[in-house]
């Protein structure tokens, strides 16, 4: 909604447009005024409807000489007050004015005003509206409302301008189909989502407490018991069965808002919609879904305690069968107020990416791990879903209260410093030769059974789960097998910046497997800036001597790293040790980053050079002293 709204008065000459404006401003009739008044701005504090809106009232002339100016003002209008005063000017409304607006491509609300009612004797206002105005309103849907007025007697003048304010602030057109006499589908969809979020216990009804909570949220006041009973009676008269002993049903809630529209009280519906951050187009505001959230370079984003609590509560609320997992039906119900599963989840074939129970239903641990990964990879997606799912901050900070920014991560081309990385979510690329066992590592990370049949990984795979560290603290580890995208990812500095640790894997029973790691490190020297862990997989099979210039233990020793960890998919303890070691390498990168040879030579040769120089100087001094003593 614009903070400056332009109300343009249109109509034939001498219908009283300027008199209406002066009567509204002066609150009394002013005779002998100029034919066209200059624009007048009304500040928010003088508006009839409480808002931050400034209204500019624009007078116009219908003379042919002023047609260009009239066109410009109509095209810039947010609402039009279309005035007539007698039979001739009333006939001009449907024959000229309304088609003229359409010809200019203008689609704004119009308030129809029959002025100079003081000149019409003994005519019932209702009859005038029914006979003159209703047929026009039925033909031209852009007419929001109509009214009779008299600038001379200051009759309904304020009400006419109030209707214009209301038409801008609370437009009926997006909500209601006057021909069908029902709410439009986008309005129904928005109200169904609001009902869903207000139904805290998810029993399909708004009980008295939930109705009062909604009233407090929207209008900051409670519903009196008698008023609540009257509302229920209204619903049942319109929608039989819309109210039961359990409360107001979804159909009853829609019927109630339909009644508001029929009775001209659609500002109530707009109050509900705007409290839940809907725009005039009945879409959620981008500022609500994607609020400003500053993240420093090389920092990452994680869920805050409030964010984790929200997703825990959501899981428990929708696990209707209490089996500790969300099945497809429960997930569909949970994501009902959203566009569906996040696209990144669908692309990675959720829930195969996280921990599930025996029935294939995502567990609470897996649910939290999935959201931890989503927040780490794309916090804007998490922010949007927090909005769609109804996160409310106790500190009124909005959805950003569910997130937190961590300290800076590792900087590209900078050797990690000694110390701990204060984060809880880490990314790990699993690299190694084909058939070295990378997929088995991901499967076992999610407690999936081991399948000995080899199946090459073409598309990238991802797995996320929690890892318990020493002292009982937990962190989340994201394992990625890159598949055919491996060269593109390893050549991409941005993608490497997102990685915290690399797991180099080789098949300890295949003598040609370790050479792949050597070749990989030679091809991508930028990998040496990352912490690494070497894993000798398939350790339950016969160990083979590797066909390479240096054996794995010596190779890792030259890099200043621990020897490869011997792991087997059949040995659960060895897998657990691997995952802990990966998480610790990410937390303490300086302990697991390769010692590069150029830096080692540079650091060790300088002291040797200084020592050699000192020794040479000492020898020269001794010889000089010996010769001096002989000469004397």
Which tokens sit at 552? 């794995």
Instruction: Give 570's DSSP letter.
Output: T
Angle at 570 between CA 568 and CA 576, to 5 degrees: 65
Rounded distance between C-alpha atoms, residue 52 and residue 63, angstroms: 35
Residue 37, pLDDT score? 95
Reference 407, options 395, 417, 396, 399; nearest CA is 417
Rounded distance between C-alpha atoms, residue 106 and residue 102, angstroms: 6
According to DSSP, the residues that pair with 325 across neighbouring strands are 363
Reference 274, options 171, 196, 200, 183; nearest CA is 171
Which tokens sit at 129? 């509206």
Structural contact between residues 291 and 282, judged by C-beta atoms closer than 8 angstroms: no
pTM: 0.84
Residue 112, pLDDT score? 95
Assign residue 315 a region: left if phi > 0, alpha if psi is -120 to 50, beta otherwise? alpha
Phi, psi of 68 (to 5 degrees): -65, -45
Residue 471, pLDDT score? 82
Phi, psi of 35 (to 5 degrees): -70, -40
Residue 431, pLDDT score? 97
User: Before 268, cis peptide (omega within 30)?
Assistant: no
* 549-605 pLDDT per residue, tens: 999 999 999 999 999 999 998 888 889 999 999 999 999 999 999 986 544 434 433
Residue 121, pLDDT score? 64
Positions in the chain whose pLDDT score sits under 50:
1, 412, 598-632
User: How long is the chain?
Assistant: 632
Runs of H (alpha helix) within 199-302: 208-219, 225-238, 250-262, 266-275, 286-289
Assign residue 29 a region: left if phi > 0, alpha if psi is -120 to 50, beta otherwise? beta
Residue 622, pLDDT score? 34
Residue 514, pLDDT score? 97
Angle at 586 between CA 582 and CA 591, to 5 degrees: 90
Q: What is the mean pLDDT of the chain?
A: 88
Which tokens sit at 583? 């998480």
């Amino acid at each position: 909604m614009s903070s400056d709204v332009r109300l343009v008065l249109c109509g034939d000459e001498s219908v009283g447009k300027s008199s209406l404006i002066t009567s509204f401003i002066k609150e009394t009739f002013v005779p002998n005024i100029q034919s066209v008044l200059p624009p007048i701005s009304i500040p928010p504090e003088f508006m009839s409807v409480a808002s931050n809106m400034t209204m500019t009232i624009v007078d116009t002339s219908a003379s042919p000489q002023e047609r260009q100016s009239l066109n410009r003002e109509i095209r810039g209008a947010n609402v039009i007050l279309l005035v007539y005063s007698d039979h001739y000017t009333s006939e001009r409304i449907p024959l000229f004015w309304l088609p003229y607006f359409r010809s200019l491509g203008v689609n704004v609300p119009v308030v129809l005003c029959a002025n100079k009612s003081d000149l019409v004797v003994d005519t019932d206002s209702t009859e005038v509206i029914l006979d003159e105005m209703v047929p026009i309103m039925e033909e031209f849907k852009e007419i929001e409302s109509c009214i009779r007025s008299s600038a001379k007697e200051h009759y309904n003048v304020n009400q006419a301008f109030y209707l214009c304010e209301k038409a801008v602030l609370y437009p009926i057109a997006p909500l209601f189909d006057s021909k069908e006499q029902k709410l439009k589908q986008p309005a129904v969809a928005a109200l169904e989502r609001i009902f869903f979020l207000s139904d805290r216990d998810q029993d399909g009804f708004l009980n008295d407490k939930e109705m009062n909570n909604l009233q407090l949220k929207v209008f900051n006041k409670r519903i009196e018991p008698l008023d609540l009973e009257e509302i229920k009676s209204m619903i049942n008269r319109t929608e039989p069965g819309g109210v039961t002993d359990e409360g107001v049903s979804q159909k009853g809630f829609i019927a109630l808002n339909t009644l508001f529209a029929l009775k001209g009280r659609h500002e109530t519906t707009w109050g509900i919609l705007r409290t839940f951050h809907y725009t005039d187009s009945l879409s959620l505001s981008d500022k609500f879904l994607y609020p400003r959230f500053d993240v420093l370079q090389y920092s990452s984003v994680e869920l805050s305690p409030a964010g984790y609590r929200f997703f825990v509560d959501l899981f428990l609320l929708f696990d209707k069968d209490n089996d500790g997992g969300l099945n497809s039906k429960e997930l569909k119900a949970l994501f009902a107020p959203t566009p569906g599963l996040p696209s990144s989840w669908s692309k990675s074939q959720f829930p195969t990416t996280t921990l599930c129970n025996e029935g294939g239903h995502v567990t609470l641990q897996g649910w939290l791990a999935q959201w931890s990964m989503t927040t780490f990879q794309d916090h804007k997606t998490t922010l949007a879903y927090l909005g769609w799912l109804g996160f409310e901050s106790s500190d009124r900070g909005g959805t950003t209260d569910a997130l937190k920014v961590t300290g800076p991560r590792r900087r590209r081309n900078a050797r990690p410093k000694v110390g701990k990385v204060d984060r809880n979510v880490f990314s790990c690329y699993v690299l190694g030769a084909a058939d070295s066992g990378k997929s088995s590592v991901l499967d076992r990370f999610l407690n999936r059974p081991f399948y000995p049949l080899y199946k090459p990984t073409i598309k990238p795979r991802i797995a996320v789960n929690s890892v318990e560290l020493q002292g009982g603290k937990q962190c989340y580890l994201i394992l990625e097998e890159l598949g055919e995208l491996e060269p593109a990812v390893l050549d991409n500095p941005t993608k490497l910046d997102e990685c915290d640790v690399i797991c180099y894997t080789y098949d300890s029973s295949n003598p040609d497997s370790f050479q792949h790691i050597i070749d990989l490190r030679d091809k991508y020297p930028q990998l040496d800036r990352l912490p690494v862990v070497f894993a000798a997989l398939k350790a339950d099979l016969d160990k083979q001597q590797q066909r390479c210039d240096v054996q794995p233990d010596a190779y890792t020793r030259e890099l200043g790293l621990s020897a490869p960890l011997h792991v087997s998919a059949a040995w659960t303890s060895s897998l657990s040790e691997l995952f802990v070691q990966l998480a610790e390498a990410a937390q303490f990168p300086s302990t697991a980053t390769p010692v590069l040879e150029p830096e080692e030579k540079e650091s060790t040769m300088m002291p040797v050079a200084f020592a050699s120089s000192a020794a040479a100087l000492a020898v020269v001094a001794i010889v000089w002293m010996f010769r001096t003593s002989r000469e004397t």
